[in-house]
Every structure is written in structure tokens, then in C-alpha cells.
Amino acid sequence: MSEYLGEYKAVYKAKSACGDILGKAQDGGIVTSMFAYALEAGIIDGAIVAGPGAEPYKPEPMIATTIEELLAARGTKYSISPNMSLIKEATRSYGLDKIGIVGTPCQIQAVRKAQLYPIGLRDVPDKIALAIGIFCMENFPYQGLYQMVEDHCATKIDNVTKMDIGKGKFTVYTERGAHAEIPLKVTHKYEQPACHVCLDYVANMADISTGSVGTPDGWSTVMVRSKAGEAAFQKAVDAGWIVAESMDGVKPGLELVEKLAKTKIDNNRAYLEHRKHEGTLLKPLRSPYI
Amino acid sequence: MGLLDKLKSLLFGKEAVREGKQDAKPGAKPADEAIVEKPVEQPVAAKPAEDKVEQVEQKHIIQKPKEEKPVADKITVGHVHMSGCTGCLVSLADNYEGLLTILDKYADLVYCLTLADVRHIPEMDVALVEGSVCINDECSMEEILETRERAKIVVALGGCACYGNTTRFCRGGQQNQPQHEGFVPIGDLIKVDVYIPACAPTPQQIRNVCLMAYLLLKGNDEQKALATAYLTPLMNLAAAGTEACGCDLMTEVINQGLCMGCGSCAAACTVRAITMQYGKPQVERDLCIKCGACYAQCPRSFFSFDVCGQYESITELIGEVMKP
Ligand code: SF4
Ligand code: SF4
């Protein structure tokens, strides 16, 4: 238990043991291989994931019920995919009884609220079998991303083959080998405003949370949190779908994860405080937290 | 976690207390234990005294569930039918065997025109009021006031009672009471304690509110605390007013810079008025029936870390207490 990282049972350095999943994944390919294993083992009968949309780099939620469909959806997304929008449909036209869902920390909060307060989500609460959360500092809405690519990088988004955030830069690569980069500083104003009230970095309420921060390239940090998460992850490792090693001595390790979590949460707490505009505004801006 | 363990101990007896202690927070106050033990021992001690000695062997199996029975008193619940379609009541009944468990262990249904033969609104702990109130109908006006007088907790069950819902669109002229044209949510006439929005409210949400109301009225201090934490957002909704619309997503979430594009609202809408467009909900306002489900489902309308953070234990607990 940590103030910033939430409760967890164990933490690992892990990656997918399947070559074809690792191939396209940016880091350890944990989400795809966990769901692939869970489908295979009957832990879930479908997963809500971010798939490719009609426009380039605009993810759309989709329900994958086969490993092929999962593979078609893999890869990091830079803008948010409203995965919760399919949570009821998954139990209706798809007839799923055991749903897997992946999401950012805020989406995992939405999952848990849906389970405890299923106000408009009849028969959904007991059908969520595996919720995987992704570490998340903030997200870009699609139009923000578009602005960064088309305007700041002067590149047509249709021609972009790859985007990358790292080392203080946002970089786009095109088909013809050109690349353009801008300092991350420039991108901040395009972040989704609602990300700045978010008080969760590592998806504290997920069954399993994962992200690339803390482990070397090609690996992911995996935090196992709930009973369901623990059981599924252990089985995936035992069945040889995922390689997991101890985090002991791994650099930069959990320390960096905690540091980033603290930065995000402290900043956002301060922003929530600021939103009250104590003494200046007639009415404080609303806080969702009670 | 300590809170839930204590809750389990009350509901399941001593076994659970021991089990629970293992993962109880180290900081849990031992003083609280005394509060917990008491209600557990009463029914256990009381039962055998009534039984004839020679029947003990046989009775053991039959009595077992009774020994685990939480507490002797149930709460009393009534369903008050105003201008609604009975869909909310059907939703309550759609807990299937869960409804029987609730009626068996936690609540007596003391009033329900559809299911029980009681004609007048009695005193009760919890009134689940379905439907809005027709102000042109004297009987309805009287009964809603009586409900407030005679119920400790008034729950607006469903979109019509909370927000008017489809009855907002009524303009009279319908057969066989064409003069009935004014319909208002119950909160415009009486003080309402808890809202359960949506058309129809879900069986699981109704179940959760019933269980929490039970704990609020019959539990010890700690259970009351859990129930209060759980019910607070639904009480806040009741305090916030009687108007709802898909527009709330705009005015209270997006306009306030709080929408992170999860899509819960779109999933919650019964009439599929909401689609996600470029990461934000787009409400087809002509389709919206003003049920209030989308806003209440939104994690950025209200979110309690205390309650949602314990989703695992609360879910397990609900599963256990709902066992027949
Ligand atoms: S549920 Fe709330 S946060 Fe999620 S998309 Fe709808 S309005 Fe936005
Ligand atoms: S948009 Fe849908 S869920 Fe929201 S109030 Fe209207 S009908 Fe209800």
C-alpha cells in the first residue's frame, strides 16, 4: 500500500512470451497477451479494447472475442478510446458473461463505479472479469493530437507511420523516412483538460495495472492488485504466455513510478484546490470527488 | 477494510470475524470489537433456548441458515405507486431469487398495491416511490404527503420520481383521464432522501440501496458509516434538484472541464441518445427522456475513493449476503 500507488499484492518486471505480440507492441505487450491468455483459458469471453478507427490515430473501442481480433487492435494509442461506452453492449448483442476491459486509470474508476453504482448498467456489475489499467500521466484528445501533428510538426496525419513520446520530445515519423519532432513542453496545452483533476497514475483500482515506466525497454512494470488479477496473472505466467521477473534491483524501478505518480497527483490536487478560486469566484468549479 | 470485516462479522457470525481479522488493518481499534460481538451473540444464544432438546440433532441443519441470519429485525419497506409504469417495480422483482433473499432476511414488504393486499400507506422505514405525482389528482397529492409523514427514508425510485422522466412530456388529453396534465417529480412536493435515477433503475442498484438502507437503520456505528458513505452521493443527487437531462453532461461535466471521455454515459443511456464523438458524449436531445442515468453514471458527476476503492470487498460482501 502506498499513498500514490494504491494497494497491490505484487509487482513484476514482465513481458509477453509470444513473439508476434511483442513485435508490434511498444513495450512488454502485457495487455494483449493477458487478454489472449484469458480468452484461451476461458477467464474472459471477450475484451473491450481500443482498436483502429476510421481515421488514422483515432482509436475506436471494439470487442475482441478472438486472439486474431486482439492482435489487430494491439499497440499504444495516443488518444483516449471510450471503452466504457461498450460495457453494456458487450453483455447484450455480444452476449458476454465475462468481460475483459482495458483502460486508463479514470476508465478503471468508471468500471468500479459501474459495479457499485450500476445506475444505468443493468446486469453489468458481475460480468466484469478482468480490468487491466494502464499507467497514465495524461491523454491527448484526438483533435489535440491532430493539432500537434498537422500544425506543429507540419506533417499530414494520414502519412504518419509512427508517433513517439520520450526524452522530452514528441516525434512523428512518415512513410518516406522523414521525421519531425517538437519539445513536449509545446504539447502540454493540448492535453485533455479533465486529465488535470485525475488523482490516479497507476490505475489503483484495476485488477492488474501495467505500463512501461520503471522497467528497461522491451519490458513492462506489472502491478497485481486484486484476487482476480492475481489468479489470472499467475496462470498466464505458469502457462508460458508471460515472462515475469522480480522487480528487485530493476532500474529505474518502482521508485520512478512512485515519483511520477507523486508528481501527477500532487499537481492535480493543487489544481483541484485552485479550481475553488477561494474568495474570487461566485461559485467554485465543481469537483467530482466526495 | 476493518469496516467490512466487522460488517461480515455481524452478518455471518464469529467464523467470519476470525477470518476477517487476518486482513484487518493493523490500526483497527480493538474497542470496536465489543460493538460487533453483541448483535451476533444475541440471535445465536436466543435460538437454542427455544428448541426442544431432543430435536437439536435434526434441527441443526435446518437451523443453520437461521443462525447465520444477521439480526432479528428486518426493516419495513413499501412501494408507493405514483404516476409510473410499474417498470421500476418489475426491476426490483428482477432480482429474482435475490428479491426473495431480501424479503426473507432484511426487509418486510409492508405496502405494495401490486403485490400486497394493504390499501393504505402504513408507517414504514423505507418508502420506494415510483412515478411522478399528478397534481390534478387529489388522491395522489394526499398519498405523497402521507408517504413523507409515515416513512423514515423516502427513496425516489426511478427517473419519473426523481426527475419526471417521460412524464415531463405529458400535456394531458390522454384517455381516460384527459384532465391529468400536470406531473411533477416527488421532490417538488416533499423532501426526498435518496435518488435512484434511470428508466428503469437497475435491479442491482435497487438491491444495493435496500441493503445499505438496512445497514443504515439496523447496523452498528461502523455499518452505518459504510451505508452513509455509499448512500451519500445518492442523497446529494436528491438534494441537487428535480431536473435532469442529457444536457447535464454538457453543463455539469464538459463545461466544467471534467469529461475525460470514458463513455460510461453512452453505455448508461436506455434510449441510446448518446454517442461518443471525438472523445466526448454527443446527446441527441430529441431522444432524451430526462431520466438522469447518464449524469449519475458518469464517474465525474460523483466519485468516492472510499467506496469505490473497496469495490472488491463490497462486491464480495453483497455476493455473500445475497446468498439465499
Ligand atoms: S461518463 Fe462523464 S466523463 Fe465519461 S464520457 Fe460521459 S460525460 Fe465524459
Ligand atoms: S441522455 Fe439518455 S441517459 Fe441521459 S437523461 Fe437523457 S435519456 Fe436519460
Within 10 angstroms of residue A152's Cβ, the number of other Cβ atoms is 17
Residues B117 and B226 occupy one common structural domain = yes
| ipTM for the whole complex | 0.96
As a three-state string, the secondary structure of A56-86 is CCCCEEEEECCHHHHHHHCCCCCECCCHHHH
A216 pLDDT above the threshold of 70: yes
Whether the CB-CB separation of B137 and B180 falls below 8 Å is answered with: yes
How is residue B242 written as a grid cell?
428535480
Among B27, B46, B69, the domain-final residue is: B69
Residue A58 Cα to chain centre, angstroms: 15
* More confident position, A277 or B53: A277
Of the candidates A1, A84, A22, A42, which has an alpha carbon nearest to the alpha carbon of residue A235? A42
Residue A21 is predicted with a pLDDT of 72
Of the candidates A80, A231, A120, which has an alpha carbon nearest to the alpha carbon of residue B262? A80
- Residue span of the structural domain in which B11 resides: 2-69
Q: Could you tell me which residues come within 8 angstroms of residue A37 by beta carbon, excluding any fewer than 6 positions away? A: A43, A232, A235, A236, A239, A241, A242
* More confident position, A133 or A77: A133
Instruction: Just give the CATH number of A140-190.
Output: 3.10.450.750
Residues 87-116 of B with CB under 8 A from A: 91
Quick: pLDDT tens for B139-150. 999 999 999 999
Among B44, B69, B94, the domain-final residue is: B69
Whether the CB-CB separation of A80 and A192 falls below 8 Å is answered with: yes
Residues B290 and B269 occupy one common structural domain = yes
Within 10 angstroms of residue A119's Cβ, the number of other Cβ atoms is 28
In chain A, which residues fall in CATH 3.10.450.750? 140-190
Cβ-based burial of B279 (10 A; exposed 0-12, middle 13-18, buried ≥19): buried
Residues B202 and B284 occupy one common structural domain = no
Residue A72 is predicted with a pLDDT of 87
Within 10 angstroms of residue A42's Cβ, the number of other Cβ atoms is 9
Per-chain mean pLDDT for chain A: 93
Of the candidates A215, A223, A220, A144, which has an alpha carbon nearest to the alpha carbon of residue A186? A144
Residues B151 and B6 occupy one common structural domain = no
Cβ–Cβ below 8 Å for B314 and A116: yes
Among B69, B87, B105, the domain-final residue is: B69
Quick: pLDDT tens for B103-146. 999 999 999 998 888 889 999 999 999 999 999 999 999 999 99
Of the candidates A282, A283, A287, which has an alpha carbon nearest to the alpha carbon of residue A268? A287
A25 pLDDT above the threshold of 80: no
Residues B151 and B238 occupy one common structural domain = yes
Of the candidates A198, A181, A194, which has an alpha carbon nearest to the alpha carbon of residue A134? A198
Which regions of chain B are under pLDDT 50?
1-71
Residues B98 and B191 occupy one common structural domain = yes
Residues B91 and B209 occupy one common structural domain = yes
Total tally of structural domains belonging to chain B: 3
Find which of B92, B202, B260 to mutate to test the A interface (most A CBs within 10 Å of its CB).
B260
Work out the average pLDDT over A79-92: 95
How is residue B178 written as a grid cell?
384527459
Q: Which residue has the cell 513495450?
A: A27
Residues B142 and B274 occupy one common structural domain = no
Pocket of ligand 2 (CB under 6 A): A 120; B 244-246, 268-269, 271, 273-274, 283, 288-294
Residue A66 is predicted with a pLDDT of 96
Residues B83 and B181 occupy one common structural domain = yes
Work out the average pLDDT over A23-51: 89
CATH number assigned to the domain comprising residue B269: 3.30.70.20
A202 pLDDT above the threshold of 80: yes
Q: Which atom of ligand 2 is nearest to the CA of B295?
A: 4
Question: Per-residue confidence at A193, pLDDT binned at 50, 70, 90?
Answer: very high
* More confident position, A268 or B41: A268
Q: What is the largest CA-CA distance in chain A?
A: 60
